[in-house]
Amino acid sequence: MVLTDQVRSADTRDETHQRVRRRTVLALGAAAAVTGVAGCDREPPAPPPPDPLLPLATDAVALAGRYRLAAADLPDRAPTLTPIAEAHEAHAAELARLMATPTPPAPSAAPSADGADARLEALRAAEKAAYDAAVEACVDAPAHRAALVGSIAAARATHLEALK
Q: Name the residues that contact other proteins, by CB under 8 A.
A: 1, 3-4, 6-7, 10, 79-80, 83-84, 86-87, 90-91, 94, 135, 138-139, 143-144, 146-148, 150-155, 157-159, 161-162
Amino acid, single-letter form, for residue 115 = G
In three-state secondary structure terms, 110 is coil
CA-to-CA distance for 120 and 164, rounded, in angstroms?
9
Spatial neighbors of 139 by CB under 8 A, at least 6 apart, are none
Task: Give the shortest CB-101-to-other proteins separation in angstroms.
Answer: 20
Task: Give the shortest CB-159-to-other proteins separation in angstroms.
Answer: 6
**Between 2 and 113, whose beta carbon lies closer to other proteins?**
2
**Between 16 and 158, whose beta carbon lies closer to other proteins?**
158
Task: Give the shortest CB-112-to-other proteins separation in angstroms.
Answer: 23
- Of residues 55, 144, 68, 150, the one with CA closest to residue 108: 68
Do the Cβ atoms of 25 and 50 come closer than 8 Å?
A: no
Task: Give the shortest CB-138-to-other proteins separation in angstroms.
Answer: 5
CA-to-CA distance for 68 and 160, rounded, in angstroms?
16
**Between 11 and 32, whose beta carbon lies closer to other proteins?**
11
Task: Give the shortest CB-17-to-other proteins separation in angstroms.
Answer: 16
**Between 26 and 139, whose beta carbon lies closer to other proteins?**
139
93 CB burial (10 A radius; 0-12, 13-18, 19+): middle
**Between 32 and 133, whose beta carbon lies closer to other proteins?**
133
